[in-house]
Amino acid sequence: MAEFHKLLARLKGALEKPQAPAAHENHVPVTPVPVASIAQRAELASSFARELEAVSGRFLGVLTADEAAARVALLARETSAKSVAIGEGVTTKMSIFSAALETAGCALMKPRGIDKGQEDARAAMIAQFAATDIGIAEAHYAIASTGTFAVMTAEARPSSLTLLPPISVIIVHIDRVVSNLAAAVAGFGVDAIATNRVSFITGPSRTADIEKRIVMGVHGPKMLCGAIIWPNE
């Protein structure tokens, strides 16, 4: 509920923001975000936060990149994390997170390119990811109706980043929070989905194979934390 109030406060601030001044000579005009667009984004963010927590995820808030980095650094301190694997961003400068985590005393590991045939090097990198305390990635899209993150794999954003560390932190830009799966698929494009691996992540890992009891973290992260990046505009 506290995060919902923060979301409303951010929305209120955006709506009360004065109109951008007329463009001066040699300056590119700035178009303010339409009120309807701001309201729609806020509604999608609220729905996503509610659904994420309904599937046992932990919503960190609707934050600027700097605020999100500080919140993740606090999470690292709270969980006594010593090592963090961090992938390349989609729209966000992940160096902001790297700096905050280094200040928190965490050792950082970043994915590196591995040529075909270097299976030993690939296996070693995967083992390093599995041994880290936190994995941080930026999602391409977040699906508001189900609290799902959609992450397309890349060399600097491997699927192991979100699958192996016991705590997974995923951020997403507010403009990439969409209403449903169809909107996310349309955003990726059929060709991109056909030629790339996409992970759809809904809550932390869980299984009910053992005596029909739900156990968290057996086949993947035990904790999934999500944050929506709403930049200062």
Query: Which domains are assigned to the chain?
Result: 2-16+32-229 (3.40.50.10420)
The residue count of the chain comes to: 233
What rounded mean pLDDT belongs to the chain?
82
Q: What is the model's pLDDT at position 205?
A: 59
CA distance 187 to 232: 24
Residues of the chain with pLDDT under 50: 1, 4, 15, 19-36, 217
Q: What is the model's pLDDT at position 144?
A: 97
Asked if 123 contacts 171 with a C-beta cutoff of 8 angstroms, the reply is no
CA distance 60 to 58: 6
Q: If 0-12 CB within 10 Å is exposed, 13-18 middle and 19+ buried, where does residue 197 land? A: exposed
Q: What is the model's pLDDT at position 211?
A: 57
User: Which residue, 137, 117, 119, is CA-closest to 127?
Assistant: 119
User: Which residue, 68, 16, 91, 4, is CA-closest to 42?
Assistant: 4
Strand-pair category, 141-143 with 58-63: unpaired
Asked if 72 contacts 60 with a C-beta cutoff of 8 angstroms, the reply is yes
Residue type, 100: A
